[in-house]
A and B are shown apart, each in its own frame.
Chain A
Amino acid sequence: MFLYVLSFFFFFSLLFADSVMVNVNVAIDEIQEIAINGTPPTLTPSFPSSSGLTYSITTNKSATQKITALVDSSFPSMITVALSMNAPTGGSSSGSGSLSTLASTFVTNIPQIAQANMNFSYSFTEWPAGYAGTTMNNVTFTITDE
C-alpha cells in the first residue's frame, strides 16, 4: 500500500511539469576595429613632439594583425614626420618610422585582443631651417591581417 501511494505521488509530480525546446542559431563575424583618441597635434620646432594621444583596438581574428599608417598627401620638401606606437599586449612595436603616402607598418603580431588607451606620438625628425608655412595632413590608421 505504501509503495502504491509513493509511486502515485512520483508520477503525480512528473505530470506537473512541461517543457519546450527552442533552437537558437548563434554566430560571430570577423571584427577588426581601431580608434584614435586625443586632439590632433600641431607640431612646431618649439613643440616637435605630440603627447597625450592614444589608440584602441579590438580584433577577434585568429590571424595576427598589424597596424599601418599613411598620410593623404606628401609633406613639404625636407619635412619629415615620424610616428611611434606602443604595442598592445602580445604585439610588437616597430618603433619610430616616417609617415608617407605609402602605408608603413608600426605595430605587428597583434593577437585576438580588446585593449584601449595605448600611447602613440608624432614627432618632427626633419625641419628645414628658415622654413615658414603650415601644412595639414590626415593620417589613416588601418588594422589588417599580417
Chain B
Amino acid sequence: MNKILLILFFPCVVLAATISVSGPPSSLVVSTATAGAQPDSVSDSSTTYTATVSSGMTGTIWASLNSSLPSATTLQVNLEAPTGATSLGGISLTSSDQMVVTGIAPGTYDSLTVTYIFSGTVSAGVVSSTPCTVLFTITES
C-alpha cells in the first residue's frame, strides 16, 4: 500500500498550480488633493502576473498583506482575470487572505495586469517611503 501512495504522490507535484509576477510596482506616492477632499489615490498598472492551473482543476487567486500599512492608509489590488475567470475588482488588502480572482480554468495565463491602488486620508499625515509586502497565493481544487 505504501508503494501505491508514493506512486500517486509524484504526479501531484507536477500538477501543482503556480503564480508569478513580473516584478514590484513603482513606488506609490500620494502627492495631490482637490481642496476640500481627501488626498487623491495613486495607482500602478505596470506589472503583470502569470498563473498556471492544472488539468481538471479550478484555480483561485488570493491576496493579503504580509506586513502592516501606515495608519489611515489603504492598499488595494485589482488583478485582471484570465479568460473565463472572474476578477473581484479592487480589493482592500488586510492580513487575511481574500479572493481576488476565481474560476480559473486549467491552463497557463500570462501578461495579466496587476493594478495596485494606494490611498490615505489626511489623518495619515506625511508618510515617508514605507515598504509593504503583498502575498499572492493561487490554490486549485
Contact = CB atoms under 8 A, between A and B. Distances in A.
B126 A24 contact: no
B123 interface: yes
Interface string A60-92: 111000000000000000000000000000000
Interface in A5-24: 5, 8, 11-12, 15-24
Q: Which of B12, B17, B73, B129 counts the most A-chain CB atoms under 10 A from its CB?
A: B12
B139 A28 contact: no
B11 to A, nearest CB: 10
A25 B27 contact: yes
Interface in B92-141: 116, 118, 120-141
B28 interface: yes
B17 to A, nearest CB: 6
B39 A60 contact: yes
Contact of A16 (B17, B30, B33): B17
A103 B18 CA distance: 63
A33 interface: yes
A58 B35 contact: yes
A19 B33 contact: no
Given A17-B138, A18-B137, A58-B35, A26 B118 contact: yes
Q: Which of A16, A30, A61, A112 counts the most B-chain CB atoms under 10 A from its CB?
A: A16
Tell me whether chain A's interface is mostly helix, strand or loop, or mixed.
strand
A13 B137 CA distance: 13
A19 B19 CA distance: 6
Contacts of B134: 21-24
Interface string A27-57: 1111101110000000000000000000111
B9 A26 contact: no
A116 B33 CA distance: 12
A8 B69 contact: no
A58 B38 contact: yes
Contact of A17 (B17, B27, B36): B17
A140 interface: no
Contacts of A29: 29-31, 126
5 contacts: A16-B141, A21-B135, A29-B29, A30-B126, A58-B36
9 shortest interchain CB distances as A-B pairs? A56-B36, A116-B36, A35-B35, A33-B35, A29-B31, A28-B127, A56-B35, A60-B122, A25-B27
Interface of B: 1-2, 5, 8-9, 12-13, 15-21, 24-25, 27-39, 47, 49, 54, 57, 66, 69-70, 73, 75, 116, 118, 120-141
Interface of A: 1, 4-5, 8, 11-12, 15-31, 33-35, 55-62, 112-117
